[in-house]
């Protein structure tokens, strides 16, 4: 647990202490309680799992389906409006900002068949997903990728790519180490 909290402190300049992270960060609470909901989900107690998930959603504004698989050190910064769907898989050391959706495609079409399919994204390790981004369907986001604010991703993302726009496309950053999760400045070049 301490590694998790220290990983957040290292990624957030607003984090003044581990105690403040534990007491005031909604993403920490959502991830912590997701672990319990996921255990109940895996054990086949879906109703209990969903009640836990909905309760924590009420308190944090973050909705994580109990079936989602989450790696270590997920940091949901701010968190309000984050939705992580049932078949989502998230790697290690991922940062997600507010209003992000890891959603399924066509949920109202042939729901019975879709219950048994992978419908949500798979996010690699060390990915940053900017505020308002939508990653829709069973796409793969490669390790180290960056998804800019309000980007809509509907196709697989290569490792270390920076994606912007609707629909999202890869761009080159002049200063690759200076990714801005709230938006990308005018110093980008279209790779396509």
Class of domain 2-190: mainly beta
Q: Give 59-84 pLDDT, tens digit per residue.
A: 999 999 999 999 999 999 999 999 99
Which two structure tokens, joined as six digits, stand for 85? 């769907």
CA–CA separation, 130 vs 149, rounded Å? 4
| Residue 98 is a catalytic residue | yes
Q: Which of 97-106, 114-123, 135-144, 175-184 has the lowest mean pLDDT?
A: 175-184
Three-state secondary-structure class, residue 87: coil
157 DSSP β-pair partners: 141
Q: Which two tokens stand for residue 72?
A: 């270590």
Please, which residues bridge with residue 25 across strands? none
pTM of the predicted protein model = 0.89
Query: 121-133, pLDDT tens digit by residue?
Result: 999 999 999 999 9
Catalytic residue of the set 34, 98, 116, 120: 98
pLDDT value of residue 107: 66
For the chain, the domains span 2-190
Characterize 116-136 residue by residue with b for buried, 16 or more Cβ atoms within 10 angstroms of its Cβ, and e for exposed.
eeebbbbbbbbbbbbbbbbbb
């Amino acid at each position: 647990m301490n590694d998790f909290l220290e990983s957040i402190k290292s990624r957030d300049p607003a984090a003044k202490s581990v105690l403040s992270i534990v007491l005031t960060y909604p993403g920490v609470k959502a991830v912590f309680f997701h672990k319990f909901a996921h255990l109940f989900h895996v054990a086949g107690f879906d109703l209990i799992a969903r009640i836990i998930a909905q309760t924590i959603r009420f308190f944090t504004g973050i909705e994580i389906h109990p079936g989602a698989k989450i790696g270590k050190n997920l940091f949901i910064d701010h968190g309000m409006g984050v939705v992580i769907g049932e078949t989502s898989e998230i790697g290690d050391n991922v940062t997600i900002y507010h209003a992000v959706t890891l959603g399924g495609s066509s949920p109202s079409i042939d729901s019975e068949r879709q219950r048994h399919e992978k419908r949500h994204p798979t996010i690699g390790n060390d990915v940053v997903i900017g505020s308002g981004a939508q990653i829709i369907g069973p796409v793969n986001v490669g390790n180290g990728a960056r998804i800019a604010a309000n980007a809509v991703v509907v196709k697989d993302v290569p490792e270390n790519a920076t994606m912007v726009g609707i629909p999202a496309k890869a761009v080159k950053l002049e200063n690759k180490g200076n990714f801005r999760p709230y938006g990308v400045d005018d110093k980008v070049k279209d790779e396509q």
